């Protein structure tokens, strides 16, 4: 990060802030000018991660709005406080890179997208799983067409969170987070999966809060999926599955199958061949850095970022459809 780079403000100093600061420090042509926190005195530790001039630690978003040297804002707050931030920032012409989710509900997410589109500012979403080497390898292979038609999809997010995770004020509530495992944890795999499969047309789902957690929203979600291209599939996500096995996406085509994990993609061909693609060794902040650098480049080049706000709505629509199906006990058709 250089002092004369594009000015960036980071709004939110929670646990993901360290990753953003490390990513911005390593990125070329970007300068972290300000960190906005309700308690800036508690956020000062982030200065230790910066090289060169330390950012200002402030509590007033108005200082960011008024600063012509800041053209890009990363919002990493809980979903419950974003509505009050995005409107004024967009009206001031600040381009916005938003940590997932866009909002607590589909309606709130759509409003965020429309605010930025009306203001003419770029809106990107931090779906960093898209930039993993395994994800890029899988996307290239699927786009190449050698696998043939897609038949079956498995999206699995079997992870574990201790009760202490949900004891944090507001965690796993609808008022702060908008829900549980789907919108907070599994949304990354949902986004990546949909980017490879295309849209879902029909959902039959069930959500529940297991006996293993004390929380308001769901820690378990399952759904049967029928895709617009005719493929069928399953979605399973839970934060009550111990030990934490990590998320996987398996896609079964006419000529072979892909199993995408954090450490690579295993390709199993019908003729018996097998290969592993997209393995990499990365620092914790590398994927965020790629997303941030792409967003900055998109602004400079006048193009769409890797994941636009409007594209990210697909994940919200699927989550809402699963919730509706569970609540009403029926299959739900997704428009479009």
CA dist., res. 109 & res. 113, Å (int): 6
pTM assigned to the model: 0.96
Does residue 101 have a cis peptide bond before it, meaning omega lies within 30 degrees of 0? yes
Q: What is the CATH number of the domain that holds 55?
A: 3.40.50.720
How many domains, in total, are found in the chain?
A: 2
**62 and 139 part of one domain:** no
| Coil, helix or strand at residue 261 | strand
The β-bridge partners of 274 are 268
- H/E element holding 195? helix 187-197
- Please tell me the predicted confidence (pLDDT) of residue 77: 95
Tell me how far apart the alpha carbons of residues 198 and 283 are, in angstroms, rounded to a whole number: 30
1 is a domain residue: no
Domain that includes residue 123, residue range = 6-127+285-308
DSSP assignment of 151-184 equals: EEEEEEEE-B--HHHHHSTTTT-TTTTSSSHIII
* Spatial distance between the Cα atoms of 57 and 86, rounded to a whole number of angstroms: 19
Q: Is 161 inside a domain boundary?
A: yes
Asked if residue 15 is part of any domain, the answer here is yes
Whether residues 257 and 323 fall in one domain: yes
The answer on 138 and 264 residing in a single domain is: yes
In this predicted structure, what is the pLDDT of residue 275? 96
Q: How far apart are CA 9 and CA 22, in angstroms?
A: 14
Considering the domain boundaries, does residue 304 fall inside one?
Answer: yes
Q: Tell me, yes or no, whether 225 and 154 share the same domain.
A: yes
Asked if residue 231 belongs to a domain, the reply is yes
Q: Is residue 259 part of a domain?
A: yes
What gap in Å lies between CA 132 and CA 289, rounded to an integer? 11
Q: Are residues 12 and 107 in the same domain?
A: yes
Do 194 and 136 belong together in one domain?
yes
Residue 292 and residue 262 in one domain: no
What pLDDT was estimated at residue 4? 56
Let me know whether 71 and 176 are in one domain. Answer: no
Residues 300 and 195 in one domain: no
For residue 222, the cross-strand partners are 206, 236
pLDDT at 336: 66
Check which CATH number belongs to the domain holding 174 and give it. Answer: 3.30.360.10
Residues 320 and 245 in one domain: yes
**Which pLDDT score, from 0 to 100, does residue 2 have?**
41
pLDDT (tens, 9 = 90+) of the chain, 336 residues, equals 444 578 999 999 998 999 999 999 999 999 999 999 999 998 988 998 888 788 999 999 999 999 999 999 999 999 999 888 999 999 999 999 999 999 999 999 999 999 999 999 999 999 999 999 999 999 999 999 999 999 999 999 999 999 999 999 999 999 999 999 999 999 999 999 999 999 999 999 999 999 999 999 999 999 999 999 999 999 999 999 999 999 999 999 999 999 999 889 999 999 999 999 999 999 999 999 999 999 999 999 999 999 999 999 999 999 999 999 999 999 999 986
Same domain, 324 and 182: yes
Do 175 and 261 share a structural domain?
A: yes
> Phi, psi at residue 107, to the nearest 5°?
-60, -40
Inter-residue contact 317 to 106 (CB < 8 Å): yes
């Amino acid at each position: 990060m250089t002092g004369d780079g594009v000015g960036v403000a980071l709004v939110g100093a929670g646990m993901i802030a360290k990753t953003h600061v490390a990513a911005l420090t390593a990125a070329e042509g970007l300068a972290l000018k300000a960190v906005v926190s309700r308690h800036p005195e508690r956020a000062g530790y982030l200065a230790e991660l910066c090289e060169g001039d330390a950012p200002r630690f402030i509590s007033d978003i108005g200082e960011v709005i008024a600063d012509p040297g800041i053209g890009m804002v990363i919002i990493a707050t809980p979903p419950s406080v974003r509505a009050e931030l995005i409107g004024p920032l967009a009206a001031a012409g600040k381009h916005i890179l938003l940590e997932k989710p866009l909002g607590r509900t589909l309606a709130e997410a759509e409003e965020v997208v429309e605010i930025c589109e009306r203001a003419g500012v770029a809106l990107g979403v931090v779906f960093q799983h898209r930039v993993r080497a395994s994800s890029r390898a899988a996307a290239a292979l699927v786009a190449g067409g050698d696998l043939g038609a897609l038949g079956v999809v498995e999206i699995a997010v079997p992870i574990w969170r201790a009760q202490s995770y949900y004891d944090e004020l507001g965690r796993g509530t609808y008022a702060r987070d908008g829900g549980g495992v789907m919108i907070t944890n599994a949304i990354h795999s949902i986004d990546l999966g949909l980017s490879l499969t295309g849209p879902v047309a029909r959902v039959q789902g069930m959500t529940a809060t297991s006996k293993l957690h004390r929380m308001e929203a769901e820690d378990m979600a399952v759904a049967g999926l029928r895709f617009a291209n005719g493929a069928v599939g399953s979605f399973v996500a839970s934060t009550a599955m111990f030990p934490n096995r990590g998320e996987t996406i398996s896609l079964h085509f006419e000529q072979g199958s892909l199993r995408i994990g954090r450490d690579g993609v295993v390709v199993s061909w019908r003729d018996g061949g097998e290969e592993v693609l997209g393995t990499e060794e990365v620092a914790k902040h590398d994927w965020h850095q790629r997303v941030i650098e792409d967003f900055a480049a998109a602004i400079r080049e006048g193009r769409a970022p890797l994941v636009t706000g409007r594209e990210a709505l697909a994940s919200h629509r699927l989550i809402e459809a699963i919730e509706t199906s569970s609540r009403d006990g029926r299959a739900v058709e997704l428009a479009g």
